[in-house]
Amino acid sequence: KVLIDVPPSELAEELEQSQTQVEALQDTLQQVLDRREEERQSRQLLELYLQALKKEESILSKVAESETEPRKEMDVVDTGTSSTGVLAKTALGDQTLAVLKGKPAPELCLDSQDLELVVKEDTEVLASALSWNKQKTEALQQACDQELSKRLQQVQTLHSLRSVSKGKKTLP
């Protein structure tokens, strides 16, 4: 850092080198410093990512533990819910519901099968399971539907590219 801060003319005199050689040396030193700073920032980012990953794992393990614990069955008459509402709520699974609640863009975190389940789920039942209002739930289902359509289009494009690529291989 000190060598970079010294004026090139003074450093050239001291080292008995030309000013262009000293400027090249200073540029190289600056690049090394920049690379070290990038590496330091990358390490910090990686550490933050690993911390977030550990937190997510602990949350998922808590959800998994709650799934394995025996649940007390509630009487449908006491809760005031219909039996179809209870069955529809369990169609998604607790882990999928946790992702839907906990992620800012859950449609990007779910696999295609779960996206289909969310889209096909009754809006009122899903809203009840997530404790959300109907508008927020409809927006979620629409986002999931759009993501599903996007994935389908990507698969179709890939198949199309493969067929074009195979066609080119057979031509002389």
Confidence of residue 28 (pLDDT cuts 50, 70, 90): very high
Confidence of residue 171 (pLDDT cuts 50, 70, 90): low
Q: Please list, in sequence order, all residues whose beta carbon lies within 8 angstroms of the beta carbon of residue 38, skipping any fewer than 6 positions away.
A: none
Whether the CB-CB separation of 9 and 15 falls below 8 Å is answered with: no
pLDDT digits (tens, 9 = 90+) for 153-165: 888 887 878 777 7
Rounded to an integer, what distance in angstroms lies between the CA atom of residue 122 and that of residue 87? 12
Confidence of residue 58 (pLDDT cuts 50, 70, 90): confident
The residue ranges of DSSP E strands in the chain, in sequence order, are none
Look at 91-95, 98-102, 164-168 and tell me which has the smallest mean pLDDT. 164-168
How far CA 91 is from CA of 24, 64, 148, 154, in Å, comes to 66, 16, 19, 27
Which two tokens mark 32?
A: 């090394």
Please state the rounded mean pLDDT for residues 67-85: 49
Please state the rounded mean pLDDT for residues 142-170: 81
Burial-class residue 26 by CB neighbours within 10 Å (0-12, 13-18, 19+). middle
Amino acid identity for residue 78 in this structure:
D
Please state the rounded mean pLDDT for residues 135-153: 88
